[in-house]
Amino acid sequence: MSTNEHITERALQTVLKTVLIDLDGTLVDSAPDIVEAAARMLRELGAAPLPFKTVRGFIGNGVPTLVRRVLAASTLGSCAATPAEEQFAQHLFHRHYEDTNGRFGRVYPGVIEGLNALRAAGYRLGCVTNKPQAPCAVLLAMSALTEYFEVVVAGDTIPQMKPDPEPLLHACRALGTDPALCVLVGDSHVDVAAALAARMPVYIVRYGYPGPDGHAGMRGAAWLDSLAELPALLALASHASEQNSLQKGECHVARIATPVA
């Protein structure tokens, strides 16, 4: 039996009671805030803003990667930015994002309903994001989401960020939860890679910021149209019989979800 099959068997025998959730693109549509901050950064550097869709596709791997991609895609990208130039651009982005964070984005439909249902059912909740702690705390507060999470692991809480599994494992340790009995909900390849590396079942929302390749190749993930669907799906996953077992190497929760359209 493979490691993933062993985890699946344990999940089938245990009621899953811990849910870790990504922030940007999963709980909150924060792209308008981020794109506006990137536009202001570029203007201050003497470049034209990029199209909304372009910058939205860069979200999910942390600010340094976002800024690097924005610089490369802009009119400044004819010459590769030096490390010092990237650091300065990041400083500008953070300064502008302090003003835009939480101003233009919105909580996705179904998020509050889903969080309330999960909490009412006794699930322990954690937020794991690549966003730095300071803007993460602001966005959670402005979105009225802070109260739902016992643990928040931000992009600078520990040295590693997703797709490294350590942020998920760190959250599990803080909650006293076995990773195999925890579920991650996210929106991107970064979330899938982190969850599978942590040997953790993973759900991916169909909205959000999946990255340049979209949802292609996100094998091993289950799918949600809304976070409001999650409580019922977790109940099914916890009580499903062995006849619903997955193919080798996939998590049980992926079997009961609808394939990507």
Would you please indicate which residues are annotated as catalytic (active-site) residues? 22
Provide the token pair at 80. Answer: 């590769």
Token reading at 214: 């979209």
How does strand 106-107 pair with strand 28-29?
antiparallel
In a 3-state reduction of DSSP, which class is residue 126? strand
User: Amino acid letter at 190?
Assistant: V
Q: Cα separation of 30 and 56, whole Å? A: 9
DSSP code of 160? -
Q: Is the Cα dihedral 142, 146, 252, 165 positive or negative? A: positive
Q: What's the Cα-to-Cα distance from 218 to each of 9, 121, 188, 194, 221, rounded to whole Å? A: 22, 29, 8, 12, 6
Q: Is the dihedral of CA 133, 213, 114, 106 positive or negative?
A: positive
CA 44/CA 233 separation, integer angstroms: 47
Tell me which amino acid residue 106 is. R
Grouping H, G, I as helix, E, B as strand and the rest as coil, residue 251 is coil
